[in-house]
Every structure is written in structure tokens, then in C-alpha cells.
Structure 1
Amino acid sequence: MISIENIKKCSQILFTVVLLLTIAFISFLVYRGIKSNDLEYTQTHELINVTKRPKIVLLLWTWPLRYSFPLNRCPPEFDASDCLYTIDRDMYSSAHAVIIHHRNISTSKTLLPQIPRPPNQFWIWSNMESPSNSLNLVFLDNLINLTMSYRVDSDIPTPYGWLVSKNQDSKKYIIPKKSKLVAWMVSNWKKNSRRVKYYEDLKNYLNIDVFGKYHKPLSRTDYMKNISTYKFYLSFENSIHEDYITEKFWNNAFVSGAVPIVLGPPRKNYERFAPPESFIHVDDFNTTKELASYILDLDKNYQKYQQYFVWKSKYEVSHRGSFMLQYCKVCRALKEAPGYRTIPSIAEWFK
């Protein structure tokens, strides 16, 4: 039989346990509240600091090609800590510069800012397309102050790729195992273009596998793995213009480990970016048959083929990266820009 005394002891123990649990729970809630307030204070404090710091306001008039990306996340090497990037058009009047992506405004001049322009505000023209694929450049007459494009002579150069010296500790480059001859990835198929006509003649002498919209399907996930099995890649540009050397050369060929056969600007232009023995230029041959004979000879002579990869022991490819990294260049460029001046004609300079 349970005595009254034992019941009292149990009640006291139960009360103590409940009391301790209640105190612990209240302490937890108080702690959570303090942490929440601390976080709130920290965020507010950081916001106050940001607004107090002197800022160069850079307004993206549109997302480039409607691709959005995180703003104000530039790596330290871009020296962009005192620049504020924004997509908010309400900040137009206080913006030190407006970045205008050509493709987004090329169909109508009304797509450009229509608000009165603040004194000394820079307009920066951004474009990665060639002149042949850039409509209505006249929209920009006497409006642009700085250019940002793949062209080396741009105020803010953003090439599709370039070579950088390898780290001394880098592993020696090993040529991927090859089982096929020539590949070409093409979606913009125009029968009367120079590159399609050249291909139509070249295929009479070589076996060329063509991938793309109107040809063999090839998923992006398998793309590099597939192309790396080919000895050569047709890096044929869709139009011929100075410095217009695109991902067809840098990524599709160089990075995948295929030797690029290039059709684009003159050889000398390519040699500004890459060693002369790293690629084959169609202009070096009088006929497509002559080029095909050279390719077939390289296919049989591995030692000679290997010479096209010697550069990889010293250099590696660096890409233009994302739009975010391109736009990160604007901050320093604006700080180092010459005195305010306006370009009379983008069309004249670009073409």
C-alpha cells in the first residue's frame, strides 16, 4: 500500500521536473529572441553601413538576354566593393552609369531610356554579337560613352576566351582518346553562308559528323564528352569580323581537346589570341580538297598531330564566364574611364 508520505515525495519530484523543464523552455525562447534580435540588428546595421558608404550606382537597364544573376557578388579581384549594381529603374536619376545590352533594345529605339538623362551619366553599350547580327546600331548615335564587347579595342573588352599561363604544378596534358575524325555543331543553318558552302564541299573528301538543330541530336550533358572523341572540330563562325572568335573555338574545340579547323577572321587575328601551331585555318589551303588531304595525313601521323597540343603544356583556356563576371568589370572601368565623351557612331566603329 502506497503511503501518503511517498505520494508527497513523488509529487515534489514531479513538480521539480516540470519546473526545470519550464525554465529550460523559457530560456530557449529568450535565447531565440535574442538571436533573432541580434540578426535583425546586424542586417539593419549592415544596411545602414552600405547606404552610408560612397557608391557608384550602376543600373542594368535590362537583364542581358533576359538572363538574371546575383547582383553585388563580384569577386574581390574586380575591385567592385564601392559600386552598387541595380536593376531598379527608379534609381535611373541617381545612376552614374546605365548598362545597355544591345540585343534587348535593338528592335525599337523606344526601348532605350526615355527619361531625361542626368548630366555626365555614362551609357555603356554591351554586345557579344557580331556586326552582321546586330540590328539598328544607328539607334545609338551620339548616345554611348563606353563600349563593352568581344572586340579587343572596346573600352571594356569581354572576349569569348583567352589563354592564361598554367600553374607550374599543373599536370601534363594528356590528349583524350580519339576514335572519330571531324565533328561540327551547328544550329544557325543558312545554306548560302560561307561556312555551309565550305562544309558542303569539304564533306566530299572527309567524313564529318554534324550535330545540331537540323542534324544529329546531341545533349548538352554529353556534349564535351562526345566532341572529345574527335580529332578535329570545325570552328566555323557564323560571320567574319575582327576579333569575332567565339566559343566554337575556345570551348567546342580547345577545351574539348579537338584541334580547331577555323573559318573566321584572318589567321593573324587568331594569332593574337592563340599560338599559330594550335589551330588549322582554312585560308592556308587553296581548295577544300587540299585541306582534306592535310587532315587525312594528320590522322595517320600521330606524332605530327600531337604538335597541335604542345601549347597545352604551358597554357590553359580561360572563359569570359557569366554575364555577372562581365558586368563586374564595369565598376573599375568606370573609375578608370577617360573624361566624359560620346561616341558619334557605334555602327561606324563596330563595322
Structure 2
Amino acid sequence: MGLWARRTRACSKRRPGSSKCDSQFFHAGLVAATFLILLGLSLLYLPDPLALEPATAAPEVTLLIWTHPFGRKRPLPDCLVRYGVDGCVLTDDPRAYASADGVLVHHRDVVGGNAELPPEVGRPSGQKWIWLNYESPSHTPSLWRLEGRFNLTMSYRTDSDIFLPYGYLVLKHGSGQLLSEPSRTSRPGFVAWVVSNWVDSQARVAFYYQLSQYIQVDVFGRAGRSIPEGSGSVVQLVKHYHFYLALENSQHRDYITEKLWNAVLAGAVPVVLGPSRKNYERFLPPEAFIHVDDFPSVKALARYLAELRRDPARLQGHLRWRTGYGLRQPTFWGEHYCTACRVLRKNLGHTQVVHNLTGWFES
């Protein structure tokens, strides 16, 4: 949890914008970092989730999708055609359980009562159960129920057995949506925030209340104005703004969601509330975002945003990095299935059990 979010808890019941509360947001320091890109790396200081393995004689494997996430059934992709992943057969037919090499189980569906865990009786020797979850620890209940049941983990966390984030940068010559240095003249808007799940106890809501005391923030989504017709998506809307509030619903290690990547794709400078600046810098160059912990107070942050808006040359300092990169945003959930299947094939013959799922994921 970031410095701002920790101090927000103590201020959550006070009037937003009060001097007593505002003064508690101490300067976390802008981390000075030398940003090195080694030729051939796809991610910034991260393992490459989609690096294809060299061709091997490994046998074809079958991955059973035990639960379609959140109960929404979708067609299963051809992994070779869509993602270049060979030797993988996907199925959601439970009758394949007795012969499947792996079983992918979505956490929320099991603990929420929409599905039961696969049966231990009749489980083939060597079959691997894969725990799938893309919610933060704050929204991942009942982990204790699953201790010692799984063999592999799959999530946004970089230390997962199967790592696939919400988004990541690739070098310009790689596969991804190319980024460019956007024009600022076509952006009449100042700061936007799209939010659908408004909870007053969340740090991001307290942050918004305070920021809006000093500058105009246009709020869209179920908790604000409707996204204008013709915008087509959040990205199209944000293209009309200089800054976007990429505020996570909770602050945890590596929990950096599509909120950040929507801003990046739209060419807006993201103002982030989530894990630490150091954590974000594993995914982005340090100048690519503005962290709320960079400032001694919300008022100071608001002043900085206003200054940037009036000074296009300084604002471009947060955007020039874009010309060297593309953006990859994995498609939910087909790409996740194929990535899991690729790692499953690589791990045939290896036996392991996740003994401390709770301790790991909540760390």
C-alpha cells in the first residue's frame, strides 16, 4: 500500500480538503532511476509472458477450463492460430477431466459458489490444477479454503508461475499497438476519471474528493456522467484529456490494471494511485506517469498538473518516451488460457504443490 493510501485511511472521516488532513500527505520522493533497455527484452525489468519456447518434442497437452470466469462462457481459441502457441488443446467439457493434463480454475467462481472444485476422486496422476485470479488481495476472499490444492498459480503478479499482466510495453519493432508522441492541441479537457464502482471507504474516492477541491475533474461512468455517444470506448474519451486518473480500487504489489493502460493508449498522462512508484517503474519509464506519492500534498499535485497544462514543453517531458514503444494488452480470457497451456506443456513431468497460497498472494 502506498504512502498516500496509508495516510488517507486516517483522514477518511474528515472533511476532504481540510488543511489538517491535507498536511499529512508527506513527500514520498521522486525516485531517480537510470532507465536501461536491453535489446530484445519485451518488458521493462519483467519476465516476458509471451516469449515462445524453442520447438521441442514435448507431447501435445489438454487444458480443461473448469470454470469460465464469472460464469460468462466464451468460445475457446485455437492457440496456434491466434497466439502462436503450439501443442495445446483447450476444452471446457468436464468429461475430459479424467484425461486432461491440466485444469484451470477461476478463484471467484469456486469461492463464490458458482462451481465446485474438481473432484479428487479420479484425478489423473500428474494432472496440474492451475489457480487463476486477476482480482487484488482485497477482493480475493477465502484463500484458506484452497491451501494445498493447486500446483500452479496464474495472475498479474510477476512472481506467479504463469505471469500475464493487464498490459505491458514492447519495443517499437515488437508486436503491439504502436505508441506515438500525441498532439496536445486536440485535447480541450484537463483531468478525467472513469469509475464504475464508487465506494466511499476506498482511498481513490478520498483522493478524488481532495483533488477536486483544487482543480476540475470530469467524472464518467456509472458513478459520474455517461460516456458521450460516439466515444466508442474509454480510450476514445480519454483522448480528449491531458491527464487521466488511473486509480486502483486497492493498493497491492503488481496490481496495475487496464486503468493505467487505457491512459497510455489514449496518449494522456496517467496520474496513478496503486502500488509504489518503484513497482510502477517495472512496467513503465519513470517519466511516463505521475504518482500521487511524488508530492507532499494533494494541493501540490493539483498545482503541478495545472502548471503542466500551461506549459506544453514541460508536459511533453512526460510523453516523449512513447516513440520507442508499443503496447500489448492481453485479451481476456482466451490469451490467458493459451499462455497457461504453454506453461503447462513446458512443466510436464514436474510435480509441485502451492502450500501457502494465502501467504504468497497477500504478501
Same fold (TM over 0.5): yes
Match of 1:247 among 258, 261, 264: 258
Q: Describe the shift of the 1:114–1:158 C-alpha distance in structure 2 as closer, same or farther (beyond 3 A).
A: same
Match of 1:295 among 295, 301, 305: 305
- In structure 2, the residue matched to 1:215 is 224
Match of 1:104 among 97, 100, 109: 109
Q: Describe the shift of the 1:255–1:172 C-alpha distance in structure 2 as closer, same or farther (beyond 3 A).
A: closer
- In structure 1, the residue matched to 2:168 is 162
Q: Which amino acid aligns with 1:233?
A: Y
CA distance in 2, matches of 1:282, 1:339: 43
Aligned residue pairs: how many? 297
Match of 1:145 among 141, 148, 151: 151
SS in 1 for 2:201: coil
TM-score of the two chains, using structure 2 as the length reference: 0.77
CA distance in 2, matches of 1:90, 1:69: 18
TM-score of the two chains, using structure 1 as the length reference: 0.80
Greater displacement, 285-294 / 63-72: 63-72
Q: Is the 8 A contact 2:79 2:88 kept in 1?
A: no
Q: Is the 8 A contact 2:171 2:325 kept in 1?
A: yes
Q: Which amino acid aligns with 1:205?
A: Y
The structural deviation recorded for 1:55 is 3.5
Q: Is the 8 A contact 2:109 2:115 kept in 1?
A: no
- In structure 2, the residue matched to 1:189 is 198
Higher RCO, Cα 8 Å, sep 6+: 2
Q: Describe the shift of the 1:135–1:296 C-alpha distance in structure 2 as closer, same or farther (beyond 3 A).
A: same
Q: Describe the shift of the 1:171–1:278 C-alpha distance in structure 2 as closer, same or farther (beyond 3 A).
A: closer
CA distance in 1, matches of 2:353, 2:324: 41
CA distance in 1, matches of 2:113, 2:77: 30
Q: Describe the shift of the 1:328–1:171 C-alpha distance in structure 2 as closer, same or farther (beyond 3 A).
A: closer
SS in 2 for 1:65: helix
Runs (5+) with no aligned partner, structure 1: 1-52
- In structure 1, the residue matched to 2:327 is 317
- In structure 2, the residue matched to 1:63 is 68
- In structure 2, the residue matched to 1:175 is 183
Residues 17-68 of structure 1: CA distance to partner in whole angstroms, max 9, x if unpaired? xxxxxxxxxxxxxxxxxxxxxxxxxxxxxxxxxxxx9641211101122333
SS in 1 for 2:264: helix
CA distance in 2, matches of 1:234, 1:72: 34
Q: Which amino acid aligns with 1:215?
A: G
- In structure 1, the residue matched to 2:42 is none
The structural deviation recorded for 1:304 is 0.4
CA distance in 2, matches of 1:228, 1:79: 32
Match of 2:353 among 326, 342, 346: 342
The structural deviation recorded for 1:285 is 0.5
Q: Describe the shift of the 1:103–1:275 C-alpha distance in structure 2 as closer, same or farther (beyond 3 A).
A: same
CA distance in 2, matches of 1:76, 1:122: 25
Q: Is the 8 A contact 1:109 1:139 kept in 2?
A: no
Q: Is the 8 A contact 2:102 2:128 kept in 1?
A: yes
Q: Is the 8 A contact 2:61 2:87 kept in 1?
A: yes
Q: Is the 8 A contact 1:185 1:212 kept in 2?
A: yes
- In structure 2, the residue matched to 1:92 is 97
Residues 297-324 of structure 1: CA distance to partner in whole angstroms, max 9, x if unpaired? 1011000001111111101211022310
Greater displacement, 58-67 / 106-115: 106-115
Q: Is the 8 A contact 2:182 2:267 kept in 1?
A: no
Q: Describe the shift of the 1:109–1:344 C-alpha distance in structure 2 as closer, same or farther (beyond 3 A).
A: farther
SS in 2 for 1:221: coil
Match of 1:238 among 240, 249, 271: 249
Runs (5+) with no aligned partner, structure 2: 1-57
Q: Which amino acid aligns with 2:181?
A: Y
The structural deviation recorded for 1:218 is 1.1
Q: Is the 8 A contact 1:122 1:144 kept in 2?
A: yes
Q: Which amino acid aligns with 1:118?
A: P
Matched, 1:123 2:138: no
Residues 227-268 of structure 1: CA distance to partner in whole angstroms, max 9, x if unpaired? 1111000000000000000001012x1011110000000000
Residues 132-181 of structure 1: CA distance to partner in whole angstroms, max 9, x if unpaired? 1111111210011011100011111110000011139x795333511011
CA distance in 2, matches of 1:82, 1:178: 47
CA distance in 1, matches of 2:286, 2:350: 38
CA distance in 2, matches of 1:346, 1:107: 18
Q: Which amino acid aligns with 2:104?
A: I
Q: Which amino acid aligns with 1:269?
A: N
Identity %: 42
- In structure 2, the residue matched to 1:47 is none
The structural deviation recorded for 1:221 is 1.7
**Which protein has the larger Cα radius of gyration, Structure 1 or Structure 2?**
1
| Structure with the higher helix share, 1 or 2 | 1
The structural deviation recorded for 1:341 is 0.7
CA distance in 2, matches of 1:287, 1:104: 40
